[in-house]
């Protein structure tokens, strides 16, 4: 046997180090931005990624109201919600969502790319979305996220 022995390090809740990133969503395409953010929220960009542990970093998104879609998705893409009651299905186009709640567009896109379990619900809590260019997280010293 070799004298050198290598052990695989498995991350756990105590050993995870979180960084804060800031993303300016102005003129960025929704899906392409969401895939990169979902990767960072999961922690797959780190060497210490462990599937059953939330190893991801925190993300602050600014200018969520200035994000864009490609093609004619702004008029054709629909967001559907269902309350569970008869006649409780509501449809809203992306254009209507931009007026009513622009942060929900990004949150919905990223949430769909995360695991659908307790771990995914913990990961989405590390995403902070703001419509303007101001945020209250200056104390965390976020660094710009380079794609």
**Residue 108: per-residue pLDDT:** 97
For the chain, counts of helices (H) and of strands (E) = 5, 6
Max Cα–Cα distance, the chain, nearest Å:
70
pTM of the predicted model as reported, rounded to 2 decimal places: 0.90
DSSP-derived secondary structure letter, 138: G
CA distance linking residue 34 with residue 111, whole number of Å: 9
Structural domain spans, the chain: 20-96+105-144
Q: And the tokens for 32? A: 């392409």
**Average pLDDT in the 42-56 region?**
93
Q: State which H helix or E strand residue 22 sits in.
A: strand 20-24
CATH architecture of 20-96+105-144: Alpha-Beta Complex (3.90)
What are 79-119's pLDDT values in tens digits?
A: 999 999 999 999 999 999 999 999 999 999 999 999 999 99
What are 6-27's pLDDT values in tens digits?
A: 788 888 989 999 999 999 999 9
Residue among 68, 59, 69, 65 at smallest CA distance from 131 = 65
**Residue 9: per-residue pLDDT:** 81
């Amino acid at each position: 046997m070799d004298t050198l022995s290598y052990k695989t390090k498995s991350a756990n809740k105590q050993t995870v180090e979180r960084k804060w990133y800031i993303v300016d969503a102005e003129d960025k395409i929704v899906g392409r931005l969401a895939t990169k953010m979902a990767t960072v929220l999961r922690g797959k960009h780190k060497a210490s990624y462990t599937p059953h542990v939330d190893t991801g970093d925190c993300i602050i998104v600014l200018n969520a109201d200035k994000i864009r879609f490609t093609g004619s998705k702004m008029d054709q893409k629909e967001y559907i919600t269902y309350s569970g009651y008869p006649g409780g299905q509501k449809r809203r186009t992306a254009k209507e969502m931009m007026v009513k709640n622009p942060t929900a567009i990004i949150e919905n896109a990223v949430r769909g790319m995360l695991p659908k379990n307790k771990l995914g619900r913990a990961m989405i809590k590390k995403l902070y979305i703001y419509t303007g260019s101001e945020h209250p997280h200056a104390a965390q010293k976020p660094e710009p996220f380079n794609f």
